[in-house]
């Protein structure tokens, strides 16, 4: 009987990890199944482009996984039972309970609502394709006019505001953030950011905390009313609640607590990668929730799974975070390097060169799903008679 590996989620971490596992383990010894709510790989870093009205290339997962032996199940994950090693899913055929031997949890994150009244009812977000398409349709209905309020001061908000302003020049775009816009950036990068916002005519409200969202406006903590024919909520990320209800040990925010190998600290047959994983780097800091972290954690999780199943020593992969790649429309951008403590360096790449770097990074995403070994030959390994993780369970 084949060893059943199940990958939950096919975003930047999950799709890449599945392809890498298929190339490092023998197909006649393992059965790899990817469960994803959509049939496509969704380029989350482009969702603000989709909302702005741009057409994006479709990346079918069956095409990305062609020839690998990976099975794709298009379904929504409802629950995980870490004790019984089962996953409950709902798809076109109804609800089913699936069994696994090894689980890789990469369900990612969505927009964090922070319990702000009116966000669920009236706000839009760009953390997924369905939500981005709803915003796009709403903006189409405005017929190129109206005011869009972007709430948040992180990378998603910073990228969404100029993308909307550039693609739909008839809109009046406003951004409200609790702190300083780009306050973590180096001085040259932050100056460039404000020049870009000025060029697009974006109004910025710093130190403005939105406490309520209504259909046509939002209300700040100081009572200021911010008009909004569309409110785009980009005030951080929250993980899906499935992990917290699964029996796995999680952090207060629901992220799965993992060791250096991306292995669950409570269930050694479960691994996590991407935004779902709470991973501590060598400098003692947790990896931030970002697409940049997805590749590093996925590589480490795959190395650990292969090592545990084959009895080989799993290498430690880099868990570095080099900087922020920020698009400011299609022809402008910032590439801000950071040091080991994630403090911005004084120098940053800006303008068209930075936009080209960001475009190259975006294009590398789907390419890496098709070529997870980056063109290097990879030797497939046989499973051990008794996988290492099972030995650890017996010893415990």
Assign residue 23 a region (left: φ > 0; alpha: ψ between -120 and 50; beta: otherwise).
alpha
pLDDT tens-digit readout, 219-274: 999 999 999 999 999 998 899 999 999 999 999 999 999 999 999 999 999 999 99
Model pLDDT for residues 156-215, shown as the tens digit of each residue: 999 999 999 999 999 999 999 999 999 999 999 999 999 999 999 999 999 999 999 999
386: pLDDT confidence band, cut at 50, 70 and 90? low
C-beta separation of 97 from 107 below 8 A: no
Which pTM was predicted?
0.93
Tell me the pLDDT band of 32, cut-offs 50, 70 and 90.
very high
**Which positions ≥6 away from 241 have C-beta within 8 Å?**
254
Cα–Cα distance between 199 and 178 in angstroms, integer? 23
Q: Which CATH architecture has domain 111-233?
A: 3-Layer(bba) Sandwich (3.50)
Reading the block at residue 375, the tokens are 């063109």
Rounded to whole angstroms, how far apart are CA atoms 215 and 227? 10
Taking CA 203 as the corner, what is the angle to CA 179 and CA 338, rounded to the nearest 5 degrees?
A: 45
Q: What confidence score (pLDDT) does residue 388 get?
A: 59
Helix (H, G, I), strand (E, B) or coil at 148: strand
Q: Exposed, middle or buried: residue 328 (CB in 10 Å: 0-12, 13-18, 19+)?
A: buried
pLDDT band at 13 (very low <50, low <70, confident <90, very high): very high
Distance CA 346, CA 348 (A): 7
- Mean pLDDT over 142-165 rounds to 95
Q: Quote the pLDDT of residue 394.
A: 38
User: Could you give the CA distance from residue 213 to residue 222 in angstroms, rounded to a whole number?
Assistant: 14
Cα 8 from Cα 279, distance rounded (Å): 18
Looking at residue 190, its pLDDT comes to 96
Domain boundaries, the chain: 3-108+240-321+373-395, 111-233
Q: What is the CATH number of domain 3-108+240-321+373-395?
A: 3.50.50.60
Q: What's the angle, vertex CA 163, arms to CA 334 and CA 55, rounded to 5?
A: 115
- Nearest Cα to Cα of residue 286 among 324, 319, 253: 319
d(CA 365, CA 371): 10
Q: Is residue 259 within 8 Å of 181, Cβ to Cβ?
A: no
- Write out 5-57 in H/E/C secondary structure: EEEECCCHHHHHHHHHHHHHECCCCEEEEEEECCCECCCHHHHHHHHHCCCCC
Is there a shared CATH topology between the 3-108+240-321+373-395 domain and the 111-233 domain? yes
Reduced to 3 states (helix: H, G, I; strand: E, B; else coil), residue 305 is: helix
Average of per-residue pLDDT across 24-38: 96
Name which of 9-23, 93-107, 263-277, 334-348 the model is least confident about: 334-348
Residue 395 has pLDDT above 60, yes or no: no
Residue where the block lists tokens 């916002």: 197
Helix, strand, or coil (residue 89)? strand
Is pLDDT of 312 > 70? yes
């Amino acid at each position: 009987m084949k060893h059943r590996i199940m990958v939950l989620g096919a975003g930047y971490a999950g799709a890449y990890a599945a392809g890498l596992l298929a190339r490092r383990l023998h197909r006649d010894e393992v059965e790899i199944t990817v469960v994803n709510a959509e049939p496509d790989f969704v380029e989350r870093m482009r969702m603000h482009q989709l909302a702005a009205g741009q057409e994006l290339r479709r990346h079918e997962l069956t095409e990305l996984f062609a020839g690998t032996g990976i099975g794709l199940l298009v379904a929504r994950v409802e629950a995980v039972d870490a004790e019984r090693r089962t996953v409950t899913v709902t798809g076109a055929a109804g609800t089913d309970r699936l069994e696994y031997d090894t689980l890789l949890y990469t369900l990612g994150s969505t927009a964090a609502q922070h319990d702000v009244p009116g966000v669920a009812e009236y706000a839009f977000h760009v953390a997924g394709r369905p939500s981005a398409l709803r915003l796009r349709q709403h903006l189409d209905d405005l017929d190129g006019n109206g005011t869009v309020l972007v709430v948040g001061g992180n990378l998603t908000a910073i990228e969404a505001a100029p993308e909307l302003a550039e693609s739909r020049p008839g809109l009046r775009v406003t951004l409200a953030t609790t702190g300083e816009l780009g306050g973590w950036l180096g001085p040259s990068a932050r100056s460039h950011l404000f020049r870009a916002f000025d060029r697009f005519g974006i109004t910025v409200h710093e130190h403005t905390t939105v406490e309520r969202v209504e259909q046509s406006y939002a209300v700040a903590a100081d009572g200021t009313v911010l008009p909004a024919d569309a409110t785009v909520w980009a005030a951080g990320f929250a993980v899906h609640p499935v992990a917290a209800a699964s029996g796995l040990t999680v952090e207060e925010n629901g992220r799965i607590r993992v060791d250096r190998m991306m292995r669950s600290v409570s269930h050694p047959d479960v691994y996590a990668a991407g935004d779902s994983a709470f991973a501590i780097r060598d400098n003692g800091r947790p990896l931030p929730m970002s697409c940049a972290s997805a590749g590093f954690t996925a590589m480490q999780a795959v190395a650990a799974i292969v090592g545990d199943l084959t009895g080989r020593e799993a290498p430690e992969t880099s868990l570095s975070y080099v900087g922020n790649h920020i698009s400011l429309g299609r022809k402008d951008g910032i590439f801000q390097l950071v040091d080991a403590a994630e403090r911005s360096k004084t120098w940053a790449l800006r303008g068209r060169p930075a936009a080209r770097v960001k475009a190259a990074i975006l294009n590398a995403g789907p390419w890496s799903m098709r070529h997870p070994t980056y063109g290097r030959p990879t030797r497939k390994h046989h499973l051990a008679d008794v996988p290492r993780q099972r030995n650890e369970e017996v010893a415990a």
